[in-house]
Amino acid sequence: MGIDSTANPLEEYFYIATHYYYLSAAFILLLPMVGICTNTKVGWILIQSYFYFLITNLVFPFTQTEVTDVSLSSLHSIAFFLILLSIILMNKKSINNLVYGIKKSELIPKNTIASVIGISITILLAILKR
């Protein structure tokens, strides 16, 4: 299916958004940008979901192939720990409570929601790439 001048404009938009990978990346980059601009619980969830997306997107290729290159695996390990450090920093009281207004008792449910969103985006992109 290509872009057809007689097709529904919504179908054309969906086709372009799903078949041109650079547009998908632009949509995904909107998550942390919106989260940074809104200092609410939803903004915190969007930023955290982006970090979880990065981690799952980093780990997902390693589950599919055998890792033999030491420099590549060390680079992935460093990136993994930097992203994990970002997640830990976002869960600190000085950030989550004072900036975003999230109480300590709300952290586990909010992290669960963010991880589900991040993992879902990774799975969706893996399906769309096929």
Q: What is the pLDDT of residues 43-59, one digit of tens each?
A: 999 999 999 999 998 88
pLDDT digits (tens, 9 = 90+) for 49-108: 999 999 998 887 766 666 677 787 788 889 999 999 999 999 998 888 888 889 999 999
Residue 27 falls within a domain, yes or no?
no
Residue 24 falls within a domain, yes or no?
no
Residue 56 falls within a domain, yes or no?
yes
Residue 19 falls within a domain, yes or no?
no
pTM of the entire predicted model: 0.76
Question: What whole-number distance in Å separates Cα of residue 116 and Cα of residue 106?
Answer: 16
Residue 67 falls within a domain, yes or no?
yes
Residue 73 falls within a domain, yes or no?
yes
Number of folded domains in the chain? Answer: 1
Question: What whole-number distance in Å separates Cα of residue 126 and Cα of residue 120?
Answer: 10
Residue 41 falls within a domain, yes or no?
yes
Domain of 95?
32-129
Residue 5 falls within a domain, yes or no?
no
